[in-house]
Amino acid sequence: MKNIIWIAIGFALVVAALWQCKTKGAAGASTADAAQKVYVAPGSYDEFYNFVSGGFNGQVSVYGLPSGRLLKIIPVFSVFPENGYGYSEETKAMLMTSHGFVPWDDEHHIAMSLTHGEQDGRWMFANANNTPRVARIDLGTFRTVEIMEIPNSAGNHSSPFITENSEYIVAGTRFSVPLDNQPDVSIETYKENFRGTVSFIGIHPQSGHMNLAFQVLLPGINLDLSRSGKGPSHDWFFFSCYNTERANTLLEVNASQNDKDFIVAINWKKAEEYAKAGKGKVKKVRYAHNIYDEKKHMATTKWEEEVIVLDPKELADFVYFIPCPKSPHGCDVDPTGEYIVGSGKLAAVIPVFSFSKMQKAIAERNFEGEYDGIPVLKYDAVLHGEVKKPGLGPLHTEFDANGNAYTSFFVSSEIVKWNLKTLEVIDRVPTYYSIGHLCVPGGDTRKPHGKYVIAYNKITKDRYLPTGPELAQSAQLYDISGEKMKLLLDFPTIGEPHYANAVPASLIKDKSVKIYPIEENQHPYVAKGEHEAKVVRQGNKVHVYMTAIRSHLTPDNIEGVKVGDEVYFHVTNLEQDWDIPHGFAIKGANTAEILIMPGETQTLLFKPDRVGIFPFYCTDFCSALHQEMQGYLRVSAPGSNIPLKYSTGAPQQPPQ
Amino acid sequence: MKQVLFILFIWAVGLMFCACGGPSQETGSTTSAAASADGGMGAIQDDASKRNVVQVAISSPDHTTLVAAVKAAGLVDALSNPGPFTVFAPTNAAFEKLPAGTVESLLKPENKATLTDILEYHTYVGVIRTDQMRDGQRLNQVNLKNVVLTVENGKVKVNGKANILASVPASNGIVHVIDEVLLPE
């Protein structure tokens, strides 16, 4: 009996010890249960695609959720030597601008195409902050297929947010500047000469092609973030702004003087009517519009020459200012379209505005005055209420389907959950560290999928094994299915994880392209079989129509090329087999490799600088004989008369 | 048998104390992060970086009351953030000028909201050096209330009363040592 009691005591202590572990703090709680919740068994798929804009890397990275596994990096505004984007002759045009070829940009936000305010899984749009551009990614191929430069713009930050039926994406200026084609002016003339603009870029409902429909001219304020309305507020777009002081130096101090800046409300339907009725001014501009043709496997640049500009000082009743405390950053619209959440990044308060109150205030002309000729609504007339003392440095808000909002706080490094109607704080969790944007699957749309909120952090410090001064930035995944948020997973990311969308995998996975049908390949230099492989000289340009199939390149012996020639290796991948890409590189080429997907043609330009033999080979491990997939180019002196000659598998001389 | 039971008992007790993994304990092939695995930015172990505004205050023998207050208000993590911050840091002597019992009362858990409001009134998001301060300049502090700066003969006063005794640059901002506690109206 005594023994049994001892055993019972011992057992109880063990249980107590284990139980204590399970309930110890946030990190403790995130171990046992959390591991199970984020575990995606080998061979199983994640539930969501998580598209994360990469900030300063100019790319979009794609993760699976809840596992946090990295699935893909999509180069958008930056060259990508890994697959030849921006290096191959076909993709160079994607990065063309009125300033010439720009190989990098700072990509801040993404926006999934919407139908009836819900994610439709067709395209992902992205913005370039530095040299203003917007891009469209096709979600069948996960490739950037269109990039349009924005004229009359600088610092394209409030972009590419989207309307409920993908009618428009927007591009708002973080830097006000003199409009294009203005005379040389002093920076000191900021208040007279510098203007902000919002561009409305129409999206073709079938092809997705973009066109710059019109621009709205604004005073020299700094537009920050933006969202379209939803449901009842469908016709409206909302932009936060700072620097209503219109300072042009030391903004750290000078743009924080006014107690309130604005949320800019634009009735885009009315603006559209004005533009269609010819009420705008047509301005001469020049901007690049780059489209990738997936049949020709090639991008081309079209130069656009005009833009319609609408001035709210001349055209009434489509632009209003809503006062908003202290340099608002986030400007988010809830799923019902009634609430517009501003987040003053320097304020310890979240003002929530009411769309119906805004409509009433506009109808009653309840203005507190004008700012540069544009009516300013009365704060109290438009305010639904304020979330008091929610945390420090509120930035961005996303929503669940149950009337809750999730706001990120940079300074106090946390996510705060609060109720939209009562404005009461429900829960808060720390993030590691200093969160910027956050993402709830569908949490920016009319139909949030809920389940998780992901924190994208700016500071990592000690979260992972140290890797020198430059660290990967961290993301954390929290379960939001209950009243309290629970930390599940901490994962490092690529670039600066700026903003993100999470999309149910079912919207995308079944339409993912596996191969390009070779019979549909319209590339001008395609070789649709080894019998079409050839080498053609046109002056000093040598075009190699090369094919790649397991496990040889055709031709693989080339002679008759001379120093001073430009050799174009047009490599067609003849495979029609899922996940058999080939790659191509040649010694001494001043460019990156190219990767060629099955059925595709891509071109590497080689300018030989010396006489010699230049080996080339397949760079993507394709088969058991991948290592044998190689060849030689002979380069002769400029004046030599070696004839052009090419072959694969020509009879070998027997050894002497 | 008794011996076995005793071993089991010792093992169980031992498990109770150490199974949860101390801050830097090896657990199989992984090592837990430093002290901050469960904490905020204030708990990060880093002896290479310059001191942040909290660490500047901690290192000053004249600011023990302020440091106690910042800890009581739970603001250590927030002030260890990249900021940048301008912190007006009242000395111990400044706190002693308050009516007797005020500090003790503010440090009580039930007065945390008031204490937080007062401390946030001492903090501005942004770096303002004294040479950038202008007469009549208002700074909207973290608690959303303004302090007013006055400059007379090159000397700055905050809210017409507090003198800036010294200014100490920090990794995430600047600390201006003042001789009065600023009280939000």
Cβ contacts of A465 within 8 Å, gap of 6 or more: none
Q: Residues A171, A174, A175, A177: what is their CA dihedral angle, to the nearest 10 degrees?
A: 30
Partners of B132 on chain A (C-beta within 8 Å) are: 250, 253
Tell which residue, A415, A393, A407, has the closest CA to residue A345.
A393
CA Rg, chain B, in Å? Answer: 22
Indicate which of B38, B127, B172 best probes the interface with A, i.e. most A CBs within 10 Å of its own CB.
Answer: B38
Q: Which residues of B touch A (CB under 8 A)?
A: 1, 5, 8-9, 11-13, 15-16, 19-20, 33-34, 36-38, 40-41, 44-46, 77-78, 81-84, 113, 120, 125-128, 132, 138, 140, 142-144
Of A128-137, A237-246, A567-576, minimum mean pLDDT range: A237-246
Q: Is A25 near chain B, with CB under 8 Å?
A: yes
β-bridge mates for residue A85, sequence order: A80
Tell which residue, A85, A71, A84, A76, has the closest CA to residue A56.
A76
Higher-confidence residue of A433 and A252: namely: A433
A525-579 tens-digit pLDDT = 999 999 999 999 999 999 999 999 999 999 999 999 999 999 999 999 999 999 9
Task: Work out the average pLDDT over A150-177.
Answer: 97
Query: Using CA atoms, how far apart are residues A304 and A92, in angstroms rounded to an integer?
Result: 18
pLDDT of residue B33: 53
The answer to whether the beta carbons of residues A287 and A210 sit under 8 Å apart is no
Is residue B64 pLDDT above 90, yes or no?
Answer: yes
Residue A7's pLDDT band (boundaries 50, 70, 90)? low
DSSP β-ladder status, A566-573 and A541-549: parallel
Rounded to the nearest angstrom, the minimum Cα separation between A340 and chain B is 21
Residue A256's pLDDT band (boundaries 50, 70, 90)? confident
Q: Which amino acid is it at A195?
A: R
**Least CB-CB distance to A253: which of B1, B44, B128?**
B128
pLDDT of residue B10: 45
Determine what percent of chain B falls in helix, strand and coil, rounding each to the nearest 5.
Answer: 40, 25, 40
A592-611 tens-digit pLDDT = 999 999 999 999 999 999 99
Residues 271-330 of A with CB under 8 A from B: 325-326
**SS3 (DSSP) at A192:** helix
The answer to whether the beta carbons of residues A221 and A248 sit under 8 Å apart is no
Residues 349-368 of A with CB under 8 A from B: 349
Cβ–Cβ of A25/B38 closer than 8 Å?
A: yes
pLDDT of residue A238: 98
The DSSP line for A288-348 is EEEEEETTTTEEEEEEEEEEEEE-TTTS-SSEEEEEEESSEEEEEE-TTS-EEEEEETT-S
Partners of B20 on chain A (C-beta within 8 Å) are: 20-21, 24, 28
Cβ–Cβ of B12/A14 closer than 8 Å?
A: yes
Indicate which of A14, A250, A460 best probes the interface with B, i.e. most B CBs within 10 Å of its own CB.
Answer: A14
pLDDT of residue A592: 98
β-bridge mates for residue A219, sequence order: none
Cβ–Cβ of B15/A17 closer than 8 Å?
A: yes
Indicate which of A1, A4, A13 best probes the interface with B, i.e. most B CBs within 10 Å of its own CB.
Answer: A13
Rounded to the nearest angstrom, the minimum Cα separation between A253 and chain B is 7
Taken in order of first residue, the domains within chain B and their CATH numbers are 51-178 (2.30.180.10)
Cβ–Cβ of B36/A7 closer than 8 Å?
A: no
pLDDT of residue B16: 41
Rounded to the nearest angstrom, the minimum Cα separation between A13 and chain B is 6
Task: Give me the helices (H) in chain B, please.
Answer: 2-18, 53-58, 64-72, 76-79, 92-96, 102-106, 112-120
C-alpha distances (whole Å) from B134 to each of A258, A387, B139 are: 16, 33, 11
Indicate which of B4, B16, B134 best probes the interface with A, i.e. most A CBs within 10 Å of its own CB.
Answer: B16
pLDDT of residue B1: 46
Query: Using CA atoms, how far apart are residues B95 and A583, in angstroms rounded to an integer?
Result: 71
Rounded to the nearest angstrom, the minimum Cα separation between A411 and chain B is 6
Tell which residue, A294, A302, A297, A292, has the closest CA to residue A525.
A297
Kindly state the DSSP code that residue A182 receives in the 8-state scheme. Answer: P
**Least CB-CB distance to B20: which of A21, A259, A433?**
A21
pLDDT of residue B185: 82
Rounded to the nearest angstrom, the minimum Cα separation between B64 and chain A is 23
A70-126 tens-digit pLDDT = 999 999 999 999 999 999 999 999 999 999 999 999 999 999 999 999 999 999 999
Cβ–Cβ of A433/B81 closer than 8 Å?
A: yes
Question: How many contacts does A have with B, using Cβ atoms within 8 A?
Answer: 109
Of A418-432, B28-42, B155-169, minimum mean pLDDT range: B28-42
pLDDT of residue A597: 98
Residue A6's pLDDT band (boundaries 50, 70, 90)? low
Q: What is the ipTM of this complex?
A: 0.84
The DSSP line for A21-37 is HHTSHHHHHTTHHHHHH
Partners of B5 on chain A (C-beta within 8 Å) are: 3, 6-7, 10
Higher-confidence residue of B37 and A44: namely: A44
Q: Which amino acid is it at A267?
A: N
CB-based burial label for B153 (10 Å; 0-12, 13-18, 19+): exposed
Taken in order of first residue, the domains within chain A and their CATH numbers are 29-75+397-513 (no CATH), 80-180+193-220+280-314 (no CATH), 223-267+320-347+349-388 (no CATH), 523-647 (2.60.40.420)
Partners of B133 on chain A (C-beta within 8 Å) are: none
> How is residue B121 written in tokens?
């009134």
Partners of B33 on chain A (C-beta within 8 Å) are: 462-464
Give the per-residue SS3 of B98-144: CCCCHHHHHCCHHHHHHHHHHHHCCEEECCCCHHHCCCCCEEECCCC
Rounded to the nearest angstrom, the minimum Cα separation between B76 and chain A is 10
Query: Using CA atoms, how far apart are residues A346 and A323, in angstroms rounded to an integer?
Result: 15
C-alpha distances (whole Å) from A35 to each of A27, A40, A68 are: 12, 10, 12
Q: Residues A252, A255, A258, A261: what is their CA dihedral angle, to the nearest 10 degrees?
A: -120
pLDDT of residue A349: 85
Cβ–Cβ of B8/A348 closer than 8 Å?
A: no
pLDDT of residue A103: 98
Residue B29's pLDDT band (boundaries 50, 70, 90)? low
Kindly state the DSSP code that residue B49 receives in the 8-state scheme. Answer: S
The answer to whether the beta carbons of residues A75 and A142 sit under 8 Å apart is no
Residue B20's pLDDT band (boundaries 50, 70, 90)? very low
Residue A32's pLDDT band (boundaries 50, 70, 90)? confident
Look over chain A and give the mean of its residue pLDDT values, rounded to a whole number. 93
Rounded to the nearest angstrom, the minimum Cα separation between B75 and chain A is 8
Look over chain B and give the mean of its residue pLDDT values, rounded to a whole number. 85
Cβ–Cβ of B81/A412 closer than 8 Å?
A: yes
Q: Which amino acid is it at A553?
A: L
C-alpha atoms less than 13 angstroms from C-alpha of B103 in its C-beta half-sphere: 18
Residue A343's pLDDT band (boundaries 50, 70, 90)? confident
pLDDT of residue B38: 66
C-alpha distances (whole Å) from A330 to each of A149, A398, B128, B141 are: 24, 10, 25, 20
Residue A372's pLDDT band (boundaries 50, 70, 90)? very high
pLDDT of residue A196: 97
Percent of chain A whose predicted confidence (pLDDT) is above 70 = 94
Of A556-570, A581-595, B22-36, B77-91, minimum mean pLDDT range: B22-36
Of A372-386, A552-566, B28-42, minimum mean pLDDT range: B28-42
A514-524 tens-digit pLDDT = 999 999 999 99
> How is residue A327 written in tokens?
């340099």
Is residue B89 pLDDT above 80, yes or no?
Answer: yes
Cβ–Cβ of B15/A430 closer than 8 Å?
A: no
Q: Is A461 near chain B, with CB under 8 Å?
A: yes
Cβ–Cβ of B9/A10 closer than 8 Å?
A: yes
Q: Which amino acid is it at A496?
A: E
> How is residue A460 written in tokens?
């990592």
- Reply yes or no: is the peptide bond before residue A160 cis, omega within 30 of 0: yes
Q: Tokens 């394209």 identify what position? A: A156
